[in-house]
Amino acid sequence: MSEKSLWQLACECIPGGVNSPVRAFGGVGGIPVFMKSSGGAYLYDEAGKSYVDFVLSWGPWILGHNPEEVLEALHDQLTRGMSFGACTRAEVELARLILKMIPGMDMVRLVNSGTEATMTSIRIARGYTGRNKIVKFRGCYHGHGDSFLIQAGSGALTHGTPSSLGVTPGVAQDTLIADYNHLEAVEELFEHYGDEIAAVIVEPVAGNMGVVPPRDGFLEGLRALCTKYDAVLIFDEVMTGFREARGGCAERFGVQPDMITLGKIVGGGMPLAAYAGTKEIMSVVSPLGGVYQAGTLSGNPLAVAAGIAHLQLLDKIKPWDALEKTATFLREGLLQGALAAGVPVQVNQMGSMFTVFFSENPVTDTDSALASHADQFATFFHALLDSGVYFPPSQYESCFLSTMHTDAILSEVIEKAAQAFKKVRI
């Protein structure tokens, strides 16, 4: 079956043909590629064409697709059962492993998705503080919970939809918006609503407007404001957890939040996420306290087995310094290719995450990200795709690197990108 025919069938039975909007290629045009298999640094489509993969399932595969240890753990668990709806020793093992690696957290609960983790963290913060309002940042994305779909990032930015139908005015009223990397805006909100704000939730490294690192003092300033006004500081590390450092951004930047949400890497490629916090805060969660959250498949044995194997392998290899060097090598190569082609670009990089912005000016916040030339990115994306390189199909998403992206692979990608930049110039 041709890709076009498969896409037509998908559009007949799935809204927009996709199960997550950014897959629809709405930001770059054209028909999505249907992938069939993966391995290491590569994806393979239904026709058998290979692609060097910089999406990596939107971040989980920091050690490359399908590490042998994770596959073995899944196979072993399959022989013993897929789901019990009961407590397991493995749940406890994964919880202890997470708390060992992430600094400053006392308790953790497993859930099934990043959205579930973030929306629960907000509910907990409200229950703990007795307040209703939250502060989020324009262009940051925390999943599709109602509170987060106010001037959101990721697919909402890609498709030009800053909010979503179905979000009630009451929810919008309780969601205060500030600009990422603009601490003064957060200070003004606290001066006006300080005794009503339950929490500040932030991507410590923004990844859903493209990669935008925090300015010096920004995260430290958020910590100070939350401490001053007795609000809960939540780091949404669904994307950055275990990627920016062993202990995520909390370790990398030395700023301690009150709660952290995790996803992607923590599940070893399976649908698993988590939220963690101090013992005082987490004690309000049912059955200890009055904040209710539940999930039939939370702590699913298969996902837990994959998560344990993935984190243990990650902690053994400790790839973070090497990955950062690899990302820097790629960044410099991309910049040289763009310069040679006469195309102004900014390559924002933090750890093993990066974004190529088609812009003459540095990208430091939402406005400067939106000022980049998405049409040029679309041309670049399709030129790379044709040459067998798979970037996220949106200007406003992060690319990811894995330990399987060798210098030889990246040197080839740099050459292909240089040719793609020339097509942008034309």
pLDDT digits (tens, 9 = 90+) for 58-77: 999 999 999 999 999 999 99
Instruction: Give residue 115's pLDDT.
Output: 94
C-beta separation of 124 from 281 below 8 A: yes
To which H or E segment does residue 262 belong? strand 259-262
Given this model, what pLDDT does residue 154 score?
Answer: 52
What string of DSSP letters covers 91-130?
Answer: HHHHHHHHHHHSTT--EEEEES-HHHHHHHHHHHHHHHHT
Q: According to the model, what pLDDT value does residue 248 have?
A: 96
Ranges under pLDDT 50 in the chain: 153, 156-162
Please tell me the distance from the alpha carbon of residue 375 to that of residue 72, in angstroms, as a whole number.
43
Q: Report the alpha-carbon distance of residue 425 to residue 11 in Å, rounded.
A: 34
pLDDT at 170: 77
pLDDT score for 166: 78
**How far is the CA of 103 from the CAs of 117, 196, 213, 219, in angstroms?**
18, 28, 20, 16
Residues annotated as catalytic are 141, 236, 264
- Residue 148: the pLDDT is 76
| Token reading at 351 | 């750890």
Distance CA 137, CA 148 (A): 9
Question: Which domains does the chain show, CATH number per domain?
Answer: 3-62+319-425 (3.90.1150.10), 68-317 (3.40.640.10)
Residues facing 357 on adjacent strands: 346
**Mean of per-residue pLDDT scores for the chain:** 94
Question: Over the stretch 321-376, which tens digit does the pLDDT of each residue have?
Answer: 999 999 999 999 999 999 999 999 999 999 999 999 999 999 999 999 999 999 99
* Predicted local distance difference test score (pLDDT) of residue 157: 44
Summarised one tens digit per residue, pLDDT across range 258-274 is 999 999 999 999 999 99
Which pLDDT score, from 0 to 100, does residue 150 have? 66
- Ramachandran region of residue 240, left (φ > 0), alpha (ψ -120 to 50) or beta? alpha
Q: What per-residue confidence (pLDDT) applies to 160?
A: 41
Local structure of 1: helix, strand or coil: coil
Q: Is the pTM of this model over 0.75?
A: yes
